[in-house]
Amino acid sequence: MRKYIFYLDGQYLKAEQGLLDVFTPGRIRWHGAFETMCALDGKVEWLEEHLQRLLRGLKALRVRHHYTLPALKRIVRRVARRNPSIKLGRLRAMVFEAGHTVHCAVMMLDYQPLSSEQYRAGLKVSIIKTKRPATARWADVKSLDYGLFASAYDKARSSGYDEALLVNAKGHVFEASRANIFILSGGTLITPPLTSGCLDGIVRRQVMAFARRFGIPVLEKDLTVPVVRSAQGIFLTNSMVGMVPVARVAR
């Protein structure tokens, strides 16, 4: 059985994937935040941006810890280097409270990317209503209280879809279960505002900056399901998939 090197509270340990799966957000009830990063040939993409958001998330959640940005960078880079057989990896860093103790875990596993056909033809997505508040309060927080997103993804997959678009308490699409959403309408690129309850995604910010640099109008605006369905184009973004188109939205 293949072994992976992971970090836990000052130690670099060996573990099989089954043990590391214990740390999957949505399966655990610890209070804290996490970040998922793409590692290509040992280099972690958008490392500083991810870890800065992790620290902001911990502050918002009032998790008291001693980890600094430089310290977290060193840990993440060491985990990436100590798993040289992983050419394309999903690297997760988390800081959380369990009981009265704060812990830090960093691990990397092989990542199976979407197929070339999925990038070419696009994904099939379902629509799932949630009670997510329409607020920007958690825009910087990837909380380990991830059950809403994990269950939505599992429900979509079990129903034959690739992803799920989530609708907040006000009836607006705020993101997908694992990604931000953009639509193209009338030549304008539109994405839900942070006040919709979406995450301030790192690739989301990059796409908006890139579009503006090339003169493409960008608008942050609440999106209803009918508006999404009638869009000229839809695509999803996150740090693992980059950008992937949506081919069909469930009726």
Q: What is the pLDDT of residues 130-187, one digit of tens each?
A: 999 999 999 999 999 999 999 999 999 999 999 999 999 999 999 999 999 999 999 9
CA torsion angle 204 207 212 215 (round to 10): -140
Dist CA 118 CA 162 (whole Å): 9
Residue type, 157: R
Classify domain 4-110 by CATH architecture.
Answer: 2-Layer Sandwich (3.30)
Domain residue limits, the chain: 4-110, 116-249
Dist CA 80 CA 109 (whole Å): 10
Dist CA 50 CA 190 (whole Å): 23
Structure tokens at 211: 């579009």
Length of the chain in residues, anyone?
251
Dist CA 179 CA 108 (whole Å): 20
- Angstrom CA distances, 39 to 36, 43, 85, 129, stand at 10, 5, 12, 33
The class of domain 116-249 in CATH terms is alpha beta
Stated pTM of the model? 0.94
| pLDDT tens by residue, the chain, 251 residues | 789 999 999 999 999 888 788 888 877 778 999 999 999 999 999 999 999 999 999 999 999 999 999 999 999 999 999 999 999 999 999 999 988 899 999 999 999 999 999 999 999 999 999 999 999 999 999 999 999 999 999 999 999 999 999 999 999 999 999 999 999 999 999 999 999 999 999 999 999 999 999 999 999 999 999 999 999 999 999 999 999 999 999 98
Q: Which of 41, 36, 75, 63 is nearest to 202 (CA)?
A: 36
Q: What is the pLDDT of residue 100?
A: 87
Q: What is the pLDDT of residue 20?
A: 84
Q: What is the pLDDT of residues 100-112, one digit of tens each?
A: 899 999 999 999 9
